[in-house]
Every structure is written in structure tokens, then in C-alpha cells.
Amino acid sequence: MRITKLAALLVCFCFCTAMVHAQNWPSFRGPGAAGVVDGPALPKRWDAEKSTNIRWKTRIPGLGHASPIVWGTRVFIATAVSGDSAAFQTQTRSNAPVAESAQHSWRLYCLDKNSGKIIWEKTAHEGVPRVKRHLKASQANSTPATDGKYVLTLFGSEGLFCFDINGKLLWKQDLGILDPGLHDDAAVQWGYASSPVIYEDLVIVQGDAHAQSFLAAFNLKDGARVWRVERGEMPSWSTPTIYRGKSRDELITNAPGYIRGYDPLTGKELWRFANDELIVQVPTPFIAHEMFYLTGGWPGGRPIKVFRPNANGDISLTTGQSANGHVAWKSERGGPYVPTPIVYGDYLYSCTDKGVLTCFNAKTGEQIYQQRINEQGFGLSASPVAGNRHLYFASEDGEVYVIKAGPQYELIAINPMNEAMMATPAISDNMLIIRGQHHVFGIAEQRM
């Protein structure tokens, strides 16, 4: 009897320990927007059609490009379900917005990470979209964020919604019309995409659009606005990132006019860096080696800029400069248009939306190699993630490319998913969680 009780206690202890050490992926690209998790082995080869290394596959209705997030054993997915068949096209050259007149239902789903079973689904809002979208976008582009107690989902002009972990709607905030699009024509709306971030007891939102550009923070508990600052920016689609430093924390934002650092508790601007002649900005700032990496932009060569923390005032480079006291290094070329690059180990990997991968020394900016991943080229909007010495690129063409990390290029596998992927994958424990156009997949090595 005592042995049975001891065995039960050991099982309970092991379960609780596993829960404590479960790898959370609480927001876009995980902690610090870095996109990296090291730990148990991740799969390198799988096949969705043959179900090889596919632990589960769950259909999600509607159209949404919001990336999956994970807390403990729960996966959260946002989507927008239209009364009509939602028009969608990858790799389109058209800039014409999609005007949708059908009733939509904006929903948040909670799935079991181990089985893919839907635990609950909640409707946040119903109505006709207030803003048009790009043909390549959706009405649910923003990735949710969670701290394990609250789950925040941002549906652009439809509002910011806060649920508890069990799906109870706690509060909502109308943020007004958020209409980013063509920089010189407010009628060309492309849809909102910046994701919320959680800092301490605040949720922070970046709203750079035609009619207004702002940063705002709301109390997690009741949704009360804590601060708001006007930015005077052009439209952007970038998500802000929190840097937690030894002397102070900083909220980092990317936008066409300026890269800026703010005090996340008050919204006070700490520093700024002028983005030279850029009119589009999409990639998210991310943290690695105690530095901030910011990339992308159109037109121009899509430069890469790397900053050190604790700056104050204007730290813009003067003519001919490529570095200063707070700018570690800058490359005029090599940055992507849409995907956020990734630093893994000593190397920065930046892949264009057409599949050209450039590897840099992450600390110095020295180019190590440049290689087209697929000789035919492919569309890439999702940002790469990495773990266990490999990089994962989920393409619009329905395949995930696995590249070995390191100073030599090596393509390990091309894994078919059979549906377009616009969302960035999540990593938790030994599993890749990948969202396609119609399904969410849990991908892990098959258990013996």
C-alpha cells in the first residue's frame, strides 16, 4: 500500500515538474521575439499528407494569419470567419484592397497542445469589417499574447479583447479605426497586423496607421488605459518588443520614420534613430546578445541596424557613419521586406520574401554567405524560428525548409504541408506548432 502511494506521489511530482518546465511561447516569435528555443530534439523531417511525424492536425475555420502561441499545455489561435468565401492569394503583386461587406465573426480558439483537441472557442466580435485588407492579408493578422492568466487578442479596428485562460471575456477596448496601407493614399487600406505585448501588469499596443499613430498601454486586470503617446508616424505593421535590462527596461518600436525606445511603464520616449527615406516597415525588433536587431524597409536596400541598450536622445548616424556609441553596426543591404530575421548562436540569418538567405556574423555584421534556399524561389511571409541547431522557414508555397545552423549553408529537408503558411510557427518542448491556411499542425517525432 505504501509503495502504491509512493508511486502515485512520484507520478504527481513528475507531472507538476513537467508543467513547471514546459516551454511557453507567449507572444509573436516567443520571448523577446527571438524565435529560438533550445531543448528537446525537434523533428527535421515530416509529411503532412502521409501523416509522418504529424502528432495532430486541427482544422480552424475562417482566414487568419495570427501565429499560434503556447502556455503550458494550451495553444491559442485567432481567426476571422466570413459569411462569404474570403478572397486570398499568396505572392500577389496587386496593391488593391479587398472590400468585404459580409458579416464576420472574430474568434479565439484554445487547443490542447498534446492532442490538438479544441478545448474552447469564443467569439470576440461580430459585424462587417470596418477596414479593408490586402488580398494577401486577413482580418485576423495579429498574434495573441498571454501571461498564463490573461489572453489578449487584437482584431485591429474591431478592438482589443482580454480573456482569462478559460475563455471568459474580461474586458474589451475600442482602439478606433486602424487603417495602415499605401503611404500616400489613405483609401488603399491593407489591414492591421501589429501584435500586442504584455509587460508587467500592462498590455501595450502599437497603432501606426493613416488616421492616427500611437502607442498605448492598458491595465491587464480591467482594461483601463494607463498611458498613450502620439507618434506622428506613417503606417507600419511591426510589433513592439520589450528588452529587460540590468539598469532599465526598454520598449522598442520599428516604423518608417524612426526606430525608437520608450519607457514601457510611462510611454516616455528614451531615444530615437532616423530611418532614412523608408516608407514601409514590417519586421519586428528582436533581442539577441544584449542588442536590438531591426531590419527591413521599402524602398532602398532594406538595411539592417543593430543597437546597444541604454541610449538617450537622438542616436541617428551622420553621413558616412556605419556605427556610433549606441549603433553597434549597420548593413545597407540584406534585410527582408516582411519576415523578421533571426539570430541563432553567433549568426544572424536574414531571408528575403523570395527565399534568398544571407548569413551574417551577429556581432560584427560581416557577411558569411548568401544562398537561394530553393532554386525556383518561393514566397515567404512567415518569420523563421530555430532550435536544436536548425532553422525552420514556413513558406507561402506550402513547404517548410529546414536549414542547418552554422557558417556553411546546408539544406536538410523540404517538408510538404499542402497548404499556404503565412503565420510564424511556435516551438514548445519537442514540438513545432505550425499554422497553415486551414489547419494547425502539431509536429513531433513519432513516439515509440
Q: Which domain holds residue 218?
A: 22-443
Give me the percent of the chain exceeding a pLDDT of 90: 79
Grid cell digits, residue 150: 490573461
Average pLDDT, rounded, for the chain = 91
Domain count, the chain: 1
User: Looking at residue 301, what is its pLDDT?
Assistant: 63
pLDDT bracket for residue 448 (50, 70, 90): low
Grid cell digits, residue 332: 545597407
Question: For residue 221, what are the contacts with CB-CB under 8 A and spacing of at least 6?
Answer: 170, 201
- Whether 214 maps to a domain, the answer reads yes
Containing 162, the helix (H) or strand (E) segment is strand 160-164
Strand-pairing partners, residue 106, are 80, 125
- Whether 403 maps to a domain, the answer reads yes
Reference 206, options 342, 351, 28; nearest CA is: 28
pLDDT per position as a tens digit, 389-445: 999 999 999 999 999 999 999 999 999 999 999 999 999 999 999 999 999 999 998
User: Looking at residue 104, what is its pLDDT?
Assistant: 96
CATH of the domain at 366: 2.130.10.10
279 near 301, Cβ under 8 Å? no
What whole-number distance in Å separates Cα of residue 376 and Cα of residue 15? 47
**Strand, helix or coil for residue 180:** coil
- Whether 268 maps to a domain, the answer reads yes
What whole-number distance in Å separates Cα of residue 443 and Cα of residue 120? 21
**If you search the block for the grid coordinates 530553393, which residue do you land on?**
374
- Whether 12 maps to a domain, the answer reads no
- Whether 361 maps to a domain, the answer reads yes
Q: Computed over its alpha carbons, how large is the radius of gyration of the chain?
A: 21
The mean per-residue pLDDT over the stretch 142-166 comes to 98
Grid cell digits, residue 339: 519576415
- Whether 10 maps to a domain, the answer reads no
Residue at 185: amino acid letter: D
192 near 178, Cβ under 8 Å? yes
- Whether 2 maps to a domain, the answer reads no
pTM: 0.93
Which long-range contacts (C-beta less than 8 Å, at least 24 apart) are formed by 79-86?
Answer: 79/106, 79/107, 79/109, 79/140, 80/104, 80/105, 80/106, 80/107, 80/129, 80/138, 80/139, 80/140, 80/155, 81/105, 81/106, 81/107, 82/139, 86/62, 86/138, 86/139
- Whether 9 maps to a domain, the answer reads no
The mean per-residue pLDDT over the stretch 348-375 comes to 94
